Amino acid sequence: MNTKTAPKTNKSAKADAELAEVLRPGQSVELLKELHILTREGRLNQDSRRKLKQVYHLFQFIEQLLRELPEEGAGATLADHGAGKSYLGFIIYDLFFRARPGGGHVYGIETRGELVERSRELAKRLGFERMSFLNLTVAESAQSGELPAQIDVVTALHACDTATDDAIAFGLAKKARCMVLVPCCQAEVAACLRETKALALSRTPLAELWRHPLHTREIGSQLTNVLRCLYLEANGYSVTVTELVGWEHSMKNELILARYTGQKKASAAARLRELLAQFGLDKLGDTRFRLT
């Protein structure tokens, strides 16, 4: 009986070469299969190739922030809000923390219990010991004893509407050194603009910017993120705004990177108050954008 392994076809050899070219050194193929980024046979399709490229692109930003921390981030703590299936948390742990001994820890925070349980099982199966998954809202997590008093890096990707603001509040409460935010579905400000639209139209021609419902949504989204950036700067962070991926992949494409400097900008606080007043959003100054 011939037990020799059949020689690889040109097609198979080409697929192996493409995979080796894409994967990072030491990266867990088993993890990528579990996350359905690779097929069961360990292959990439066009959709998974695009997904992996996007994850790597985001990881590059986060890796740079981690390396700026003491000991190049080896002992850093990271909280991923709205973790979902924890694609990001697992990739960060696999590529950054797994090979680094020390106290580094990744916390995945998610409201859907079945996803939390699935992530716990996967982390256990892969031996990712310094990962924890908590069935909490973003707001609840700030008060939870299951997280340390300080978190170094806070991420919130496509956290809908006010969940991004809750993640910012969490970061402030936990004295985060860095925040990585990809906002999504910014509805609260748009709703406030609609409420005060008639009064605004009678006061200023600027209200024409949000007179039509479609413009209200667009202006609301843009204004929300501008206010968030000013709020972070007013609380001692330097802020960079860039693209996450190309517009052909997602319209929710804005990536906000914040690094703590400790230098609270009075000018940012003043601009924040002026914008809230100009757009009739004063009540948000008492809730989402409260300045101390």
List the alpha helices (DSSP H) in 82-112. Answer: 87-92
Q: Select from 220, 227, 221, 232 the least CA-distant residue to 168.
A: 232
How do residues 210-236 score in pLDDT, each as one tens digit?
Answer: 899 899 888 988 999 999 999 999 999
pLDDT at 5: 54
**Span of 93-97, 108-112, 183-187 with lowest mean pLDDT:** 183-187
| Helix/strand/coil for 252 | coil
Give the amino acid at 21.
E
Greater pLDDT, 183 or 251: 183
Residue type, 139: A
Name the token pair of 158. 């496509």
Q: pLDDT tens across 155-171, in order? A: 998 777 788 999 999 99
- The rounded percent of the chain whose pLDDT value lies above 70 is 91
- Of residues 261, 180, 263, the one with CA closest to residue 228: 180
How many helices (H) and strands (E) would you count in the chain? Answer: 11, 7
Give the integer Cα–Cα distance in Å for 250 and 221: 15
Looking at residues 10-38, what average pLDDT do you find?
A: 80
Query: Which CATH number, 3.40.50.10680, 3.40.50.150, 3.40.720.10, 3.10.180.10, labels domain 25-185?
Result: 3.40.50.150
**pLDDT tens for each residue of 227-267:** 999 999 999 999 999 988 654 444 567 899 999 999 999 99
Judge whether 193 and 219 are in contact, CB under 8 Å.
yes
Helix (H, G, I), strand (E, B) or coil at 138: helix
For CATH 3.40.50.150, list the domain ranges present in the chain. Answer: 25-185
Which helix (H) or strand (E) is 110 found in, with range? strand 105-110
pTM of the model: 0.88
